[in-house]
A and B are shown apart, each in its own frame.
Chain A
Amino acid sequence: MIDPVILFFLLGAVAGLLRSELRLPAAIYEFVSIVLLLAIGLKGGIELAKQPFGSLLPQMLAVVALGFFLALVAFPVLRYLGRFKRADAASIAAHYGSVSVGTYAVAVAYLGSRQIAFEEHMPLLLVMLEVPAILVGIVLARGLSRETRWGSIAHEVFLGKSIVLLLGGLLIGWASGPEGLSSIEPLFFDLFKGILAIFLLEMGLITATQVGSLRRYGPFLVAFGMGMPLFSALVGTGLGWALGLSIGGTVILATLAASASYIAVPAAMRISVPEANPTLSLAAALGITFPFNVLLGIPIYHALAVWAHAFAKG
């Protein structure tokens, strides 16, 4: 059965496509994304309190390498097959190497409604995967020139909204533990799906606004927007299996790999690689990849993880 939060996404998309008057105030969108980011961070933080940090280090390093790898694979495809300008190819590659927290939240809801357990420290990996691709994108666009102002880029990348809230949530969750957090649980955990529903309603509206630019930029971007997440999910599934994650954890890692950023990366690229056209990357990430992952991708990655684990057992 289709999850109600997905229906909210479809409602937003249909309303947007039909040019409905429906608009969420920007402050509401801002608020629900802040609550989601904090809730995800807090959940991961509780888990971190239970595990020795050292045991997570190999996974964190592997995920950082994954971020570099995905952006480096996407770039030549876009540059030579897609014939995009260097800056545009680098910027789109950065979007696809990084992660979308919204897609992660949908995967968590998907697994939750099927009672499939997953490693709760996944938000930590989410944070780790967010940054490397941004650096790759900037270097691919600019080269390692002396003029690049790495100080201000680092500020932009590490102090962006999503990293601060995710890391902040992780630390608060880690410091407070499950008992300490019980007083704020009603807002962050009990209301999670309701908040996610409102978030997805707005995401549907935003997705619908990208359709116009997709029509302009043609079939390659559409094909890339679906092909790249499928490839990334394969890599993510392989890595999840190699790291010994559960089926649920593998689904999450594959989803993280497959998702394309639309919060942290666009902001960083706009400042660091201004000559890249933001319409292209947002049309692909939001117009194609986000709906693809949410509607079809996550069930596919689930099947893939089940298959990989069954295959590994022989």
Chain B
Amino acid sequence: MQNRTRKLLTIVTEAALEGTLVRDLDQLTAHGYTITDARGGGTHGVRDAGWDASSNIRIEVVCDTETAEAIAAYVQEHYFDNYAMILFVSDVDVLRPEKF
């Protein structure tokens, strides 16, 4: 049986970054992504999504290990210092591995 395990990369960050991050993901050869509106709190205070400046998004990308590592490295270098952002990677089983 084909190896069906892929990486699920999740980024939770400021909504202001959405356009920039989507461009980055395309360049880093992610095949697809899902974005949802989010709210929460952390070291940058409560982000209650009441209006633009306090809105968060959650971006999810399913991809192979190399792509996940490339995205993680790129995002860490460019955004971690100045933006409210967390990123984590987990293993997921997928039904159509060729898609990712």
Out of A24, A209, A212, A267, name the residue touching B16 (CB < 8 Å). Answer: A267
Asked if B50 and A271 make an inter-chain contact with CB atoms under 8 angstroms apart, the answer reads no
Complex Cα spacing A212 to B55, Å = 18
> Which of the residues B20, B50, B53, B54 comes within 8 Å of A202, measured between beta carbons?
B50
Using a Cβ–Cβ cut-off of 8 Å, how many residues does chain A contribute to the interface with B? 21
Given A26-B55, A275-B82, A270 and B16 contact (CB-CB distance below 8 Å) = yes
B50 and A24 form a contact (CB under 8 A): yes
For the complex, give the distance between the alpha carbons of A6 and B83 in Å: 34
B81 interfacial by beta-carbon distance below 8 Å: yes
Assess whether B89 is interfacial by the CB under 8 Å rule.
Answer: no
Do B16 and A271 have beta carbons less than 8 Å apart? yes
Say whether B52 faces chain A, with CB atoms less than 8 Å apart: yes
User: Would you call A23 and B81 a contact (CB within 8 A)?
Assistant: no
CB–CB A274/B83 < 8 A: yes
Q: List which B28-49 residues lie within 8 A (CB) of chain A.
A: 37, 45-46, 48-49
Distance to closest chain B CB from A138 (angstroms): 15
Is residue A266 contacting chain B, with contact meaning CB distance below 8 A? yes
**Chain B interface, number of residues (Cβ within 8 angstroms):** 19
Interface of B is mostly: mixed
The smallest C-beta distance from A308 to any residue of chain B, in angstroms, reads 35
Q: CA A23 – CA B51 in complex, angstroms?
A: 11
In the complex, what residue of chain A is closest to B49 when comparing beta carbons?
Answer: A26
Residues from chain A with a CB closer than 8 A to the CB of B20 are: 271
Chain A interface helix/strand/loop/mixed: helix
Q: Of residues 167 to 206 in A, which have CB atoms within 8 Å of B's CB atoms?
A: 202, 205-206
Given A274-B82, A274-B83, A275-B81, A267–B45 Cβ distance below 8 Å?
no
Q: Say if the beta carbon of A118 comes within 8 Å of chain B.
A: no
Give B14 Cβ to nearest chain A Cβ, in Å: 7
How far is B16's CA from A270's CA once the two chains are assembled, in angstroms?
7
Q: Nearest A residue to B44 by beta-carbon distance?
A: A279
Report the nearest A residue to B79, measured CB to CB. A274
The answer on a CB contact under 8 Å between B50 and A282 is no
Decide: A267 and B50 in contact? CB cutoff 8 A. no
| Option from A26, A266, A279 in Cβ contact (under 8 Å) with B45 | A279
Asked if A29 is at the interface (CB within 8 A of a chain B CB), the reply is: yes
- Mark out the residues of chain A between 223 and 281 whose CB falls within 8 Å of any chain B CB in the assembled complex: 262-263, 266-267, 270-271, 274-275, 278-279
- In the complex, what residue of chain A is closest to B16 when comparing beta carbons? A270
In the complex, which residues of chain A have a beta carbon less than 8 angstroms from the beta carbon of B46? 209
* CB < 8 Å neighbour of A282 from B16, B17, B53: B53
Once the chains bind, are A23 and B50 in contact (CB under 8 Å)?
yes
Question: A263 contacts B52, CB within 8 Å?
Answer: yes
Q: Considering the chains assembled together, what is the distance between the CA atoms of A266 and B15 in angstroms?
A: 12
Residues of A contacting B14 in the complex (Cβ-Cβ under 8 angstroms): 270
Minimum distance in angstroms from A15 CB to a CB of chain B: 13
Per-position 1/0 for B53-74, Cβ under 8 A of A: 1110000000000000000000
Residue numbers in A under 8 Å from B51 (CB-CB): 26, 29, 202, 206
Quick one: given A271-B20, A279-B45, are A266 and B53 in contact (CB under 8 Å)? yes
Who on chain A is nearest to B84 by CB? A278
A209 & B53 in contact (Cβ 8 Å cutoff): no
User: Which single residue of chain B is at the shortest CB-CB distance from A274?
Assistant: B82
Contacts of A24 in B (CB 8 A): 50
Task: Show 5 A/B contacts (Cβ-Cβ < 8 Å), sorted by A.
Answer: A26-B37, A209-B46, A213-B45, A266-B53, A270-B16
* Given A209-B54, A213-B45, A274-B82, 11 more pairs with CB closer than 8 A: A24-B50, A29-B51, A202-B50, A202-B51, A262-B53, A266-B53, A267-B16, A270-B16, A274-B79, A275-B81, A282-B53
